[in-house]
Chain A
């Protein structure tokens, strides 16, 4: 009986720490209005930047008229003036992902499936930019929830363009979904 209680408490602690971990996602944002560089740690490059693997985590920063994605020693720079479109969105992802998440699918008694119910909210940031020869590129990033609009604002302050202003996008995202009849 005592053992069961210990297991229950340990499980509850694990679930709480998992949730708290996802809430305390790292972000080093500064004020966009001052023109200072803003950086967003814990950004995942999903696809699109040249010379960088897919699905790698790094730091996205906007400053000195460009977007910079840094992953360890690798650095990809996109001039903000070449960015034609910046769009944000919302999504969710598994709290326990990657290889561990995949392997957990084979855990006994459906416990892996149970784990996949734990999901954390993320923001998506998509950009379209042109290379020097006029070729169109697209890049997709995911950021910790609540950071995409800040990143968009920072990019626009550096000279990027968009067809959908930040205020309109914020209003569209804040609007509650209509209930199905």
Chain B
């Protein structure tokens, strides 16, 4: 009988901890969301690695497509767009490729395990003054189905998700 009482007290304590923990996490998440009504996506840079231009352009275009699809921002500006200068609540996304491995679609389809394409990109969100808001490394992969450029789509989807999670 004593042990049942002990167990129920322990269970109640655990429930209290669980509840307070989840509330705290939710509050943290709500606090970390940065207000932003517009985003400008700059052209992908590749200072450290040699990235074929078709990958560079596909990364950039997929990124714009995916961020637009989230409907998170009122405006998604391209690199060089003059209208971005007057936009309020603008965040600027800088992307720099630091790792690239071009796989082989043929190898992937024949072996299943070899020939993956991988692109590693350092993404930095800043405000208009250049102050860093968020920095994160994102990797785009294609491991089985699809051409090599599909890795750029994978990367773009992940970055769009990061934008959704961190900006409001």
Contact = CB atoms under 8 A, between A and B. Distances in A.
Interface of A: 46-48, 85, 87, 89, 92-94, 102, 105, 112-113, 116-117, 119, 124, 126, 128, 130-131, 133-140
Contact of B78 (A116, A117, A137, A139): A137
When A and B form their complex, which 10 residue pairs have the shortest distance between CB atoms, in order from nearest? A138-B57, A135-B78, A116-B109, A135-B81, A136-B79, A134-B80, A87-B53, A126-B53, A134-B82, A140-B54
A89 B149 contact: no
Interface string B122-158: 0000000000000000000000010101000000000
Given A117-B106, A119-B106, A89 B80 contact: no
Which bracket fits the contact residues of B? 20 to 34
A92 to B, nearest CB: 7
Interface of B: 43, 52-54, 56-58, 60-62, 77-83, 105-106, 109-110, 145, 147, 149
B145 A102 contact: yes
Contacts of A133: 81-83
Contacts of B78: 131, 135-137
Contacts of B56: 138
